[in-house]
């Protein structure tokens, strides 16, 4: 394309689309792909948020037109481009910004909705590295902006010097100190939520999407929200996961995410006595969780459990 004197923007765009097809090819051509018995087709690498252990993997011919082939990948990329263009024509004007959530916005908002990292459940950047290395080989050198994005051999992790980066509870990044890792996650969430508090109008709403089966994760998240000055006014369970996904087979995987709706706690609000608050919480928790005692909970039932636990926050 460069020899044919195409504009640099065109070259970058087309190269980006082709890189997506290459990444999709890698996803279906790894040595950890398995056979999807229900759909009778090849399953891609990431059936869950980690590289699985597969004793008998499935192979595909990259040059074929079957599932996982490069030709089919190009078709999927083309279909997505058409879909995205149609959606963009109907959507309202928007602004896409790439910056750290630690930085404060320049203007106030009526509503802020965030889907933060799920504590220790998903190693986002580690999973991203699988695709990052192929994108880097394909796109590095096309433009200054892309060179800045792919300047490191692996995707960005937590930066100890800048105290910024991927915010998850991963003790391996803190010399296996679990207490320090948990404190880092809570402090990081607090600073992010504090910025959201400052960027929200007085009657604005702050919505947090979260899902986790362990109480420590909820304790850490809610503690950061309260420290930032928010109070929970409502909680809603929304089924965000497919029941047919591989992760849900034979396990109690959560099927729903909890949407916590918050508002600013008025500065004039008087502090309550902790013993009275704890007593009220105990009553609510006992009433909402009594029927769950002694049951083996499925993913959907566990979603209900955490929905009722979230109700005790307001």
Lowest-confidence segment of 56-70, 156-170, 295-309 by average pLDDT? 295-309
Angle, in degrees to the nearest 10, between helices 124-139 and 8-28: 130
What is the model's pLDDT at position 90? 78
Average pLDDT over residues 102-123: 79
- Please give the average per-residue pLDDT across 140-159, as a whole number: 88
pLDDT value of position 289: 60
Mean residue pLDDT of the chain comes to 79
pLDDT band of residue 79 (cuts 50, 70, 90) is very high
Burial per residue of 100-139, b for 16 or more beta-carbon CB atoms within 10 angstroms, e otherwise: ebeeeeeeeeeebeeebbbbbbebebbbeebbbbbbbebb
Ordered domains of the chain (ranges, CATH): 1-94+124-162 (no CATH), 98-122+168-266+279-314 (3.40.50)
> pTM of this prediction?
0.73
């Amino acid at each position: 394309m460069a020899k044919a004197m195409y504009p640099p923007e065109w070259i970058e765009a087309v190269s980006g689309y082709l890189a997506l097809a290459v990444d999709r090819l890698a996803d279906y051509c790894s040595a950890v792909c398995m056979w999807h018995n229900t759909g009778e087709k090849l399953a891609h690498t990431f059936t869950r948020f980690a590289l699985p252990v597969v004793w008998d993997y499935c192979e595909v011919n990259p040059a074929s037109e079957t599932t996982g082939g490069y030709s089919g990948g190009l078709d999927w990329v083309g279909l997505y481009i058409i879909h995205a263009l149609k959606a963009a024509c109907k959507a309202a004007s928007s602004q896409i910004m790439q910056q750290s959530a630690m930085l404060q916005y320049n203007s106030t908002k009526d509503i802020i909705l965030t889907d933060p990292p799920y504590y220790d459940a998903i190693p986002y950047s580690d999973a991203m590295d699988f695709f990052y290395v192929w994108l880097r080989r394909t796109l590095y050198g096309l433009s200054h902006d892309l060179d800045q994005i792919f300047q490191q051999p692996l995707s960005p992790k937590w930066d100890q010097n800048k105290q910024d980066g991927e915010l998850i509870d991963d003790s391996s990044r803190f010399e296996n100190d679990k207490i320090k890792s948990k404190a880092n996650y809570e402090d990081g969430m607090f600073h992010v939520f504090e910025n959201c508090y400052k960027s929200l109008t007085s009657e604005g709403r702050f919505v947090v999407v979260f899902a986790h089966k362990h109480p420590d994760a909820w304790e850490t998240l809610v503690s950061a929200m309260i420290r930032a000055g928010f109070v929970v006014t409502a909680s809603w369970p929304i089924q965000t996961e497919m029941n047919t996904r591989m992760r849900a087979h034979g396990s109690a995987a959560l099927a729903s995410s909890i949407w916590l709706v918050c508002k600013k706690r008025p500065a004039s609000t008087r502090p309550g006595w902790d013993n009275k608050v704890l007593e009220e919480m105990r009553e609510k928790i006992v009433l909402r969780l009594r029927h769950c005692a002694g049951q083996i909970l499925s993913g959907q039932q566990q979603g209900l459990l955490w929905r009722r636990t979230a109700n005790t926050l307001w």
